[in-house]
């Protein structure tokens, strides 16, 4: 595809990037971010469809081809050492011995594999990942997009789109060999993936998101969710009393993840890349990084795109970490 619309439907917002071109000339023509919650709860699928439809209707010359990604509990990503066989043979073996790789009924899932190793004759195994998503989740997301007047060309997985973005950033900065944790902080959950030389080595979903801070503020101050959100976005200093318990819980879970990875692999996490809407909260990622004593930075997905968005261009610069999945989708699927 030369032009596409990348759509990231989260638990709190829908993000849309209209991206055109290929090679070194990829251009963001339009962008938008729209809340899809009422008092902290996501609206109906029909309302999400209307939000996407309204966003796209305001974009001139936008492609009808959309790419999207799914995430959450309905998604499984596992690192696996496959036998040194062709992809066709490996997929056949997975069908025949499904519980060997992921403990689910594969009839209920769409799944695929990616192989990271070169299949040299002397190798006994090939390192890769198996990714699976519940058919119901995929079908529902495609339905929301298609009902908005678009055609869903591809469905990816959030964490894999982020890995693709990170691999491109690492190549650009010549840091491919650094052991890096990608921490995508969403509204309802946080995904952590650990990457070495562009390959996913560890992946985990943590049921802690930035909305927990808002709900804590609501409970303590007896205010509505929108008021709590405004207080939260004012910065950590103003809500430190309510945010720190959430930060400490997340730090504990990240520490457990890193310790497990380090015990299994024998190497330490050297750097953290933050992405997602939670990375926009003033002081949030800095507090996490200091607690973990690991240097960090926030992903800059715009490094690969020329920003020519007439509407929302300034917002895109300010909120770029929230568009990390969209950017990863574009890099993965634009020719």
Q: How far is CA 318 from CA 131, 279, 301, 323, in A?
A: 32, 11, 12, 10
Angle 281-286-287 (CA atoms, 0-180°, nearest 5)?
95
Counted residue by residue, the chain has a size of: 335
Model confidence at 21: pLDDT above 60: yes
Average confidence (pLDDT) over 51-68: 93
CATH class of the 3-74+134-333 domain in this structure:
alpha beta
Question: How many degrees, rounded to 5, is the angle at CA 270 between CA 267 and CA 275?
Answer: 125
Please check the confidence at residue 128 and state whether its pLDDT lies above 90.
no
The residues with which 297 forms a beta bridge, in sequence order, are 273
The pLDDT assigned to 332 comes to 80
Which band of pLDDT confidence, cut at 50, 70 and 90, is reported for residue 79?
confident
- Yes or no: say if 291 and 26 are a contact pair by the CB < 8 Å rule: no
State how far the Cα of 335 lies from the Cα of 276, in Å rounded to an integer: 25
The string of pLDDT tens digits covering residues 81-106 is 899 999 999 999 888 887 788 888 88
Of 21-25, 227-231, 281-285, the least confident: 21-25
Q: pLDDT exceeding 90 applies to what percent of the chain? A: 57
pTM for the structure as a whole = 0.90
Residue 335's pLDDT is 57
DSSP string, 77-142: EEEEEEESS-HHHHHHHHHHTGGGT-SS-GGGEEEEEEE-S---TT-SEEEEEEEEEEHHHHHHHH
Q: Which two tokens stand for residue 24?
A: 């070194």
Checking if the pLDDT of 242 tops 90, the result is: no
Strands 25-35 and 306-307, bridge-based pairing: parallel
Alpha carbons 315 and 145: distance in angstroms, whole number = 23
- Please tell me the predicted confidence (pLDDT) of residue 312: 66
> 132-169 pLDDT, tens per residue?
999 999 999 999 999 999 999 999 999 889 888 888 87
CA dihedral 285, 287, 289, 290 (to 10 degrees): 160
Is the domain spanning 75-133 CATH 3.30.1490.300? The answer is yes
Structural domain spans, the chain:
3-74+134-333, 75-133
């Amino acid at each position: 595809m030369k032009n596409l619309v990348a759509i990231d439907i989260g638990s709190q917002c829908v993000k849309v990037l209209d991206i055109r071109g290929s090679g070194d000339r990829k251009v963001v023509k339009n962008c938008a971010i729209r809340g899809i919650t009422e008092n902290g709860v996501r609206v109906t699928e029909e309302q999400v469809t209307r939000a996407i439809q309204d966003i796209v209707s305001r974009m001139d010359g936008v492609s009808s081809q959309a790419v999207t990604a799914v995430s959450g509990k309905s998604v499984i990503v596992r690192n696996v050492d496959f036998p040194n066989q062709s992809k066709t043979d490996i997929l056949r073996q997975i069908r025949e011995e499904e519980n060997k790789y992921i403990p689910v009924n594969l009839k209920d899932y769409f799944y695929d594999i990616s192989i990271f190793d070169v299949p040299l004759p002397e190798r006994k195994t090939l390192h890769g990942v198996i990714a699976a998503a519940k058919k119901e989740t995929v079908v529902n997301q495609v339905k929301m997009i298609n009902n908005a007047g678009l055609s869903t060309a591809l469905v990816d997985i959030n964490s894999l789109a982020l890995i693709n973005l990170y691999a491109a950033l690492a190549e650009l900065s010549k840091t491919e060999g650094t052991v890096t944790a990608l921490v995508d902080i969403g509204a309802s959950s946080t995904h952590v993936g650990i990457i070495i030389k562009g390959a996913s080595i560890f992946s985990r979903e943590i049921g802690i998101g930035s909305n927990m801070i808002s709900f804590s503020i609501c409970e303590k101050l007896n205010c509505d969710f929108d008021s709590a959100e405004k207080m939260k976005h004012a910065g950590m200093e103003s809500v430190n009393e309510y945010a720190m318990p959430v930060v400490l819980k997340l730090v504990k879970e990240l520490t457990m993840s890193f310790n497990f990875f380090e015990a299994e692999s024998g190497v330490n996490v050297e750097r953290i890349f933050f992405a997602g809407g939670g990375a926009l909260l003033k002081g949030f990622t800095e507090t996490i990084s200091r607690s973990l004593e690991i240097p960090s930075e926030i992903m800059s997905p715009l490094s690969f795109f020329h920003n020519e968005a007439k509407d929302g261009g300034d917002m895109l610069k300010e909120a770029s970490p929230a568009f990390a999945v969209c950017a990863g989708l574009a890099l993965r699927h634009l020719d």
